[in-house]
Amino acid sequence: MKISNIFHYISNLFSNGVLVLLSIVGSWLYWFFFPAPEYLYSSLAVLGMIVLDIVTRLYAQSRKAGGIKKAIRTKDDQGKKYINSKKFLEGTTDKLIIFVVMAILCSLFYRVSILSELAIWFTQLVYTLMLLKDTLSVFENLDDAGVKGLGIFRNVIHKKLDEYTGGNDDENN
């Protein structure tokens, strides 16, 4: 292979400016948000729990209404639809904004911390609290759907959240 062929091949790689820009931005975002492997795994766990929370909320609402089609079309006793896309969008957006803000804070803490282990410990604590909060929400959703036998799990998660946060959080997501 000639050197001119190599240069031609490399120049072709950079011919699409949009892809090059997306690659640069994507690489920078990955570098910023995931400075250590623990950040990636914790983020995926919390995002997975957020998705599970949404799915169980949809399940609970559809079960209350007697099916997913009925939940979308009919209204409950207060005149509100069981499944309201605007309400779901607002709740999901709020959770994602909190997630992104916390991810930015944890990443910045890693960047300014002298001890990376301290930053990783802090991040694990933050993501654990977010995971516990969404786990409690999943159990509450399943309880709303009428699934039996979840009381002990819900009580344990609620107790741990109260221990970590030092308060009583009665908000139902």
Q: How confident is the model at residue 159 (pLDDT cuts 50, 70, 90)?
A: confident
pLDDT tens track for 61-107: 888 777 777 766 676 666 666 666 777 788 889 999 999 999 999 99
Task: Please state, in angstroms and rounded to a whole number, the distance separating the CA atoms of residues 29 and 24.
Answer: 9
pLDDT tens track for 32-66: 999 999 899 999 999 999 999 999 988 888 887 77
Q: Is 149 left (phi over 0), alpha (psi -120 to 50) or beta?
A: left
Task: Characterize 140-157 residue by residue with b for buried, 16 or more Cβ atoms within 10 angstroms of its Cβ, and e for exposed.
Answer: bbbbbbeeeebeeebeeb
pLDDT tens track for 101-149: 999 999 999 999 888 899 999 999 999 999 988 988 888 888 888 888 7
The values of phi and psi at residue 29, to 5°, are -60, -40
DSSP 93: H
Task: Give this prediction's pTM.
Answer: 0.74
pLDDT for res 1? 65
